[in-house]
Structure 1
Amino acid sequence: MGWDVSQFERSLLSVTDATRALYVREIQRFIAWSASRGVNLPELVDRSHLRLFLAELSAPSGTTLSRTTPSRTTPSRTRASGRTAPGHTSDSTSGQTSGHTPGHTPGHASGQASSSQSAHAELGPKSAATIRRILSSLRRYFGWLAQTGRIDHDPTANLSAPRGAQRLPRVMNADQVHQLLDPAEADAAHRMTGDPVTDARDNAILELLYGSGLRVSELCGLDAGSIDLAQRSVTVWGKGAKERRVPISEPAVDALHRYLRAEVARATPQPGPVGGAMVDPREPRALFRNKRERRITARDVRRIVDRRSSEPIHPHTMRHSFATHLLDGGADLRVVQELLGHAD
């Protein structure tokens, strides 16, 4: 049987398109590297093979670590489907008759040389975070192979990756928060756009980022119906398409009231071309929109923070600050995790 990457990709129903593409890319990287080592079947992958792969990811560029091809033979039990690895001919199932290592595809030697060069060109040195991400992809893939009976056991079980040095996230102090959310009149003059609706929108965005600890993606995805000002709460869709309800701070409620009132004076755009773009009347009304009346983007949010802050601050810093300031104020860790939408 082959690697069945396409079937694995179709099984990923609970992840985003970007995450699915990342899984497939990392697995294909591993498959190309494995082919350069004469391992063309997932049944031949063991812990030592995976450890060697992870070691080469962290090795300096151009370094190739050595290990003999796994001595195990192809498992005797066969699959009824008779599937072969993608791109291989059916002759690969009888590779031993041509004097090749089990799992080594006959007639593939020339392609293997270029595959080896390509695989090694993509390896090392990788950061510890990147190695952990790649290992996570491999765990998901080999776990799926084991669960679906394609392999006898999961070789990634209990396999660990280097943690590396951990950088503490930056946290804003009280003065920085005050300057960003309540700037002095002299400072505010050159940081505002001069448009009442835009300035009110920006105030509401900053208050939600800090006061509710929203991710930028969550804020950009808010619809007009996501906000319940009477209950002082907002419903957001976090990672993994998980919905959660988050309280809104009093300053954020006030900022949202001012923003919504300011919008009343602006005529509701009609379906059709707006600023060179088409607005689909069937789409939910976005809470925050840009000048083209399209849903606000992460880049728009970054520009707002850059314009309103006197020093470089990443929008995600406001989320870290929200959590840290709550904990410093005596909030329970588990409550803060739930507010942030962390699974654990």
Structure 2
Amino acid sequence: MTVQDELQRLGVSPAGRDAVLPFAVEPLDVRGRAVFLGPMLDAILDRHQYPVSVSRLVAEAAALVCLLGTSLKFDGRFTLQTTSDGPVSMLVVDFDTPDGLRACAEFDAEAVAAAEARGEADAVALLGRGHLAMTVDQGANMNRYQGIVALDGHSLEEVAHQYFAQSEQIPTIVRLAVGEMLDRREGDSPRHSWLAGGILAQFLPEAPERMRQPDLHPGDAPEGVKPHEVDEDEAWREARALVGTVRDDELGDPEMTAERLLFRLFHERGVRIFTPQPLTDRCRCSDARIRKMLAGFSADDLDHMTVDGRIEVTCRFCNARYDYDAGEIVPGGSGTD
């Protein structure tokens, strides 16, 4: 039976691009999500015109955040943010439930160009050393949860694995990859088009003792101390091995779909798919939010922002510009409507 036959039998429409597809492989006690990004990712990256290597890094982080953010079961926000000493000093990707994504990066253009010229512009080199924070904001009057992972020569995949090992303590495997296409339309200059794909699988058996994992390396254990080891559950070993076969070129293939990928991996065991979650390029900035933010500054700060009697603010995520007469903003107030 083909993927299309199975979708037709289930009465389910394909997830397509810019959607997360939840799935379960019940014989292996595995649940997860797969994502393939396309036009929405292009819209985010086009407005910034980042260097190619920075666009690739933002795209990979966006795929990871979509996999993680769509797991939230409440109205809230999931944020990934890096702070590091590499050419890309900061990377921020926000996910607003149920479907909103925005992203931006701060970088040293000369350092990025030099890294690209040397052929050393992968995620590890661009981020350098620092930390990555993953924050879950459950809204007003609720505590925020934050997990922090060191950026110390690790890829985003490796950082995600470390995050789940130390924060969630759920056996998890993540695969991420980005594809780049060059669209040569007649009469126009070549245009970059981006694809990003990812899959996340987690081992969630009913018996919690089956989820045991080795303790995290203490980092300062005396020489000769053997690392903690546990016998890995056979079902999880199989699932992890299957997801580990996913290739970068599959996740960056314009012809690949989430359904095809899941069918390839798990058709022998049987995989269930659920309703896809569409994704949207959506920023949170607005006139009301910007006015409220400006009103929180002191009179002296506002004076330093004022040029020829005007205050201009540009959203770093979507590049929207907000322009105000300085007299409209009252320090300590709420602005004017």
TM range (shorter): under 0.3
- TM-score, L = length of structure 1: 0.20
Q: Which has the higher contact order (CA 8 A, sep 6+)?
A: 2
- TM-score, L = length of structure 2: 0.20
Select the structure that is richer in strand: 2
